[in-house]
């Protein structure tokens, strides 16, 4: 069974069928300490401190931004721009893209097991199957896993549809290329690179009538929406249960 692209919607609600749904989920950077200012007076340290206490040594300040710090691509671009303006150097970028459907993990593993490099690894656990291609020390490492199973194991919620997540770690000499592509809005090129490099085109089929991941669709997208915004929904319920139930009851006729 082939997997289809997960389409998204813009802030104006317009369907973007050509957007592959690529997300930047991790940024790692370092800043050189080249002046005599106290560390807490350094502009880079002041900015990094807004995300928590940054790590630093005698010569460098280190910053790590995880997926909880990066809600969307525009925010990620703003962070990368600020890092450059403060003289920082990005050492790692992670990107991910979700596909509706379930990957044939055994077949994908065998595809790469027949090659000399990079060597794949496959893990099976209650959180689902995961295939790694490459090493953590490599300039590129791919990780593909069953997102539906992971959510079910960690959150005890079944989103109601198969979902496969593809993640790639970019480090070293590869960072400038992918940084340029992402900053110039060429997410399609990044996704195409991932598909070509790792043979994912044989497993992931893009359909013209892809189903948007939006609350206005039927039950599968609704459950996905609830999982994504469960914290906000829970806070609204705890804040005013009566009003929450009144609103939900009013939605039955929508």
45-96 confidence digits (pLDDT tens): 999 999 988 999 989 999 999 988 998 999 999 999 999 999 999 999 999 9
Terminal-residue alpha carbon distance, the chain: 34
Instruction: Mention every residue, 6+ apart, whose C-beta is less than 8 A from residue 155.
Output: 227, 230
Asked whether the predicted pLDDT for residue 173 surpasses 90, the reply is yes
* DSSP3 helix / strand / coil % (the chain, rounded to 5): 40, 30, 30
Q: Using one digit for the tens of pLDDT, what is the confidence trace for 183-231?
A: 999 999 999 999 888 888 766 544 333 333 433 444 445 565 566 556 5
Tokens encoding 9: 């919607």
More confident residue, 167 or 216: 167
- Give mean pLDDT, residues 18-46: 84
pLDDT at 212: 37
pLDDT at 2: 46
Tokens encoding 205: 């089929």
Cα–Cα distance, 21 to 168 (Å, whole number)? 14
Q: Using one digit for the tens of pLDDT, what is the confidence trace for 104-148?
A: 888 888 887 766 556 678 887 777 889 999 888 889 999 999 999
Q: Angle at which helices 230-239 and 241-250 pack, to 10 degrees?
A: 120
Cα–Cα distance, 148 to 162 (Å, whole number)? 6
Instruction: Mention every residue, 6+ apart, whose C-beta is less than 8 A from residue 81.
Output: 183
**DSSP 8-state secondary structure symbol assigned to residue 41:** G
More confident residue, 142 or 21: 142
- The pTM assigned to this predicted structure is 0.71
């Amino acid at each position: 069974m082939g997997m289809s692209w997960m389409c998204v919607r813009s802030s104006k609600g317009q369907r973007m069928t050509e957007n592959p749904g690529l997300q930047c989920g991790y940024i790692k950077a370092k800043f050189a300490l080249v002046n005599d200012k106290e560390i807490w007076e350094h502009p880079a340290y002041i900015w990094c401190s807004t995300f928590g206490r940054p790590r630093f040594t005698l010569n460098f300040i280190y910053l790590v931004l995880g997926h909880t710090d990066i809600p969307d691509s525009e925010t990620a671009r703003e962070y990368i721009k600020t890092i450059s303006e403060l003289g920082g150097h990005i050492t790692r970028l992670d990107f991910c893209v979700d596909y509706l459907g379930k990957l044939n993990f055994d077949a994908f593993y065998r595809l790469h097991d027949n090659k000399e490099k990079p060597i794949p690894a496959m893990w099976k656990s209650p959180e689902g199957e995961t295939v790694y291609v490459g090493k953590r020390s490599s300039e590129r490492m791919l990780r593909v896993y069953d997102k539906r199973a992971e959510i079910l194991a960690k959150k005890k919620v079944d989103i109601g549809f198969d979902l496969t997540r593809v993640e790639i770690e970019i480090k070293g000499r590869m960072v400038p290329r992918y940084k340029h592509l992402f900053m110039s809005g060429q997410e399609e090129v990044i996704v195409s690179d991932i598909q070509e490099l790792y043979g994912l085109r044989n497993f992931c089929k893009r359909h013209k009538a892809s189903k948007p991941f939006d609350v206005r669709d039927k039950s599968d997208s609704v459950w996905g929406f609830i999982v994504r915004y469960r914290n906000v929904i829970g806070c609204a319920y705890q804040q005013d249960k009566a009003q929450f139930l009144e609103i939900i009851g009013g939605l039955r006729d929508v």
